[in-house]
Amino acid sequence: MGGWNGWSFKAAFVAAVLGPCLALSAETGPLPPAFDVRIRHEATADTVRQALRGAAQRLQSPGCQAVFSDFSDASGRLLSDRLADLGQTPQGYLGQVLFYDGSVKPHCQAKDRGVLAVTAPGSPAVFVCPQAFRDLYWKDPLYAEATLIHEALHTLGLGENPPKSREITSRVVKRCLR
């Protein structure tokens, strides 16, 4: 019997659809990670995903990856060593971070502070301040990407004060946005 059965059709369909994508992946490097954005407001979720894609692309550069060697956790361990212990690349790790709507967080409600996202050192969750983050992304997407890398550093254990928040972001910008 030489006709198309259900499995043959599915295999041919998958090959036709995914084949070009797999070839493209081989030419341009690994596919970006899937991001864990748990934000219900679709415009905010899409904006965060776009910024994460840009941040992950930047983190493919060894110069940008070096930012993980610039900082340590509270015990003095380099964040790059923490990544190695997790068996993660910086861009792969970004795919492990959980992103939530931070609307109810006091830092996000304080309009005059300019807070874009908050987390606690070592926490796997980042809370994005929706309106502030969307506004920033449409004005300066590169800075929004730097903000997400900054927050990823905190999720690996980087504290703040010291270093000051603007010092962390400045280092990310210097390493990743050239």
Q: Where are the domains of the chain?
A: 1-31, 32-176
Q: Between 125 and 24, name the one with better pLDDT.
A: 125
Q: Give the predicted TM-score (pTM) of the model.
A: 0.81
Q: How many CB atoms lie within 10 A of CB 35?
A: 21
Instruction: Quote the mean pLDDT of the chain.
Output: 85
Contact 173, 143 (CB under 8 A): yes
110 pLDDT band (50/70/90 cuts)? confident
pLDDT for the residue numbered 34:
86
Whether 164 contacts 170, CB under 8 Å: no
